[in-house]
Amino acid sequence: MPLLTIEQVRDQVQTDLTDAALGKVYDAELRRIVKEVGAEKAVVETKRGLGLVELFTRRPIATINSIKERTEQNSDQVTLAADDFRIVGNRQIIRLSTGTNSATFWGIEAVIDYDPVDNIDLRNSTLIELIRIAMDISLKQSEKDGDYSAAYRSPKRAREEALAGLNDTLEIA
């Protein structure tokens, strides 16, 4: 399932904005998601691995595209073969002492290029929530009228709560 179209957003968000204006809000909130949790596909992470047997990716792994390892600070990167590592669970990568480029521990640096597990439904629902927050000018922290008082989420807090669901899919190191 691809990201939402403007028409699909309009079906879920009440607004008088033109498609162009709604598109700008959409693009800004999509950039916020990418900044917070990374791209939808082809994630590249650089990990310090010196002396470690295992590395953990930030997001669950669907497929590994490549792993390039540098054994020393000034050495060239070596692209590892599939028999040089093993994926355990959905985030853990173990360095194997057998294989084409065998080693007991990870080198000083590993660059992992992988496609994360598809979380497009969660991204889409988070995108809708962020668009609603961006368009809700009534978000305020509190109000008081006589004996009546109410506290509300600030726009910043509302965004943090909306993004929390996507952050829950990340490995927090």
Residue 98 identity: T
Distance between CA atoms of residues 79 and 77, nearest Å: 7
What is the predicted pLDDT for the residue at 168?
A: 58
Q: Tell me: the pLDDT tens digits for 80-136?
A: 999 999 999 989 999 999 999 999 999 999 999 999 988 888 889 999 999 988 887
Give the contacts of 134 (CB within 8 A, at least 6 positions apart): 25, 28, 29, 155
Tell me the whole-structure pTM to 2 decimals: 0.66
Residue 30 identity: L
Q: What is the helix (H) or strand (E) element at residue 149, kind and residue range?
A: strand 148-151
Q: Which residues pair with 43 in a beta bridge?
A: 114
Q: Tell me: the pLDDT tens digits for 5-59?
A: 999 999 999 888 899 999 999 999 999 888 887 777 788 999 998 889 999 998 8
Q: Say if CB 71 and CB 103 are below 8 A apart.
A: yes
Q: Tell me: the pLDDT tens digits for 36-45?
A: 877 777 889 9
Distance between CA atoms of residues 113 and 44, nearest Å: 4
Sequence ranges of the domains in the chain: 6-39+119-162, 43-116
Distance between CA atoms of residues 159 and 171, nearest Å: 20
Task: State the DSSP code for 15.
Answer: -
Q: Say if CB 1 and CB 121 are below 8 A apart.
A: yes
Distance between CA atoms of residues 91 and 57, nearest Å: 5
